[in-house]
Chains A and B, each alone.
Chain A
Amino acid sequence: MPQARKVALVSGGSRGLGAQLVSGFLDRHYQVATLSRTKTTFITKMLRARKGQHFHWGAVDGRDHEALRAFVKDVGDRLGRIDVLVNNAGIAMEGILPTMRMRDIVEAVEVNLTAALVLAQACSRFMLRQGCGCIVNISSVHAIRGHSGVAVYSATKAALDGLTRSLARELGPRQIRVNSVAPGYFDSDMVSDMAEEQKRRIARRTPLGRLARIDDVANAVHFLTSDQASFITGQTLVVDGGITC
């Protein structure tokens, strides 16, 4: 009898790293559910190609806690389980704190942190009942090193790493693993506004001599969610070419 497909839920899977993760989990024979605010070309293409087979998408705003919970419940009830949660959705919020608008601060905390908490709580209910599961929080090197102009973003990402460590202890006894992946700068919408010279400077400072590719980051997530990482929990895997070492 063929084994039932595992279920992965990826937040913010409509573009960039999230879209890469969605494709990667489908390639690994998962059923994949993702949520995003808007239906991008990638989502439209996937929905058309998959015809509802193993791919599910929901239009959910990460600031809407009830909608997040409802999405998780719907996925869990329809697909029968949730094996993996990747808290990937996030927004870059640049600007120094003294002059940042309060509503931008609140939005960054809501999308980058509170949504991850809500999703982790809702998914952990299914994982507790299954007696297994895996959560990966997408953090950032900004959680590890201070940089001017990203104080709010850094705070939300460092909070995710704190969540990772404590949740790993809370859920470990039920065989639920929780880890973070902290990427350095990689080719994504978040660095699209960065000047070429700035990108070259980061590459020069990076021991491996380049920015990360999306694959570099996605591969770390797939490793942590695989059985090969079955004894790894509560850790932050930094994928930055050595820039923070």
Chain B
Amino acid sequence: MLTAPTLAQIESIVHGRIRAVLAERVGEVARLSGTDKLSATLGLSSLDLAFVVAELEAELGVDPFAKLVSITSVRSVGDLVRAYQQALFPELERSGDEHAVAAAVRRAQTRRTRRKRR
């Protein structure tokens, strides 16, 4: 991506990649919920998930599972979305309330924009 994605964009990108895999298998999937279980609800295999992770690494430039997060802790669509949000905005993990999170996201985005300008 040319500019840093927002939290909502990250969610949309992750959902898009999951939907693309599901579309190959069962046809179009209208909507995903954060609580959908990747395996139990959606029927994704470990290899499907690895494919999604490879695609997301290419698109977002990060792999949260290299060091930060264990892939075995990812059960739901929401877990996967959060792993990428935390990889791109490390402040999220340390911040509790919503205002702090929003401020952390703004700071991270400002830093990214500055880095890109340099």
Contact = CB atoms under 8 A, between A and B. Distances in A.
Interface in A102-139: 124-126, 128-129
Interface residues of B, number: 11
Contacts of B57: 125
Interface of B is mostly: helix
15 contacts: A69-B66, A124-B50, A124-B54, A125-B54, A126-B54, A128-B47, A128-B51, A128-B54, A129-B55, A129-B58, A170-B47, A171-B47, A173-B45, A173-B47, A174-B47
A220 to B, nearest CB: 28
Task: Please name the 9 residue pairs, one residue from A and one from B, whose CB atoms are nearest each other, closest first.
Answer: A125-B54, A128-B54, A128-B51, A129-B54, A173-B47, A128-B50, A129-B55, A174-B47, A125-B57
Interface of A is mostly: helix
Interface of B: 45-47, 50-51, 53-55, 57-58, 66
Interface of A: 69, 124-126, 128-129, 170-171, 173-174
A77 to B, nearest CB: 9
Contacts of B47: 128, 170-171, 173-174
Nearest to B66: A69
A125 B47 CA distance: 11
Contacts of B46: 170
Contacts of B66: 69
Contacts of B50: 124, 128
A84 to B, nearest CB: 17
A170 B45 CA distance: 10
Nearest to B50: A128
A69 B55 CA distance: 16
B66 to A, nearest CB: 8
B104 to A, nearest CB: 27
Given A128-B54, A171-B47, A174-B47, 6 more contacts: A124-B50, A125-B57, A128-B50, A128-B51, A170-B47, A174-B51
A73 to B, nearest CB: 9
B53 to A, nearest CB: 8
A125 B45 CA distance: 16
Nearest to B63: A125
B91 to A, nearest CB: 24
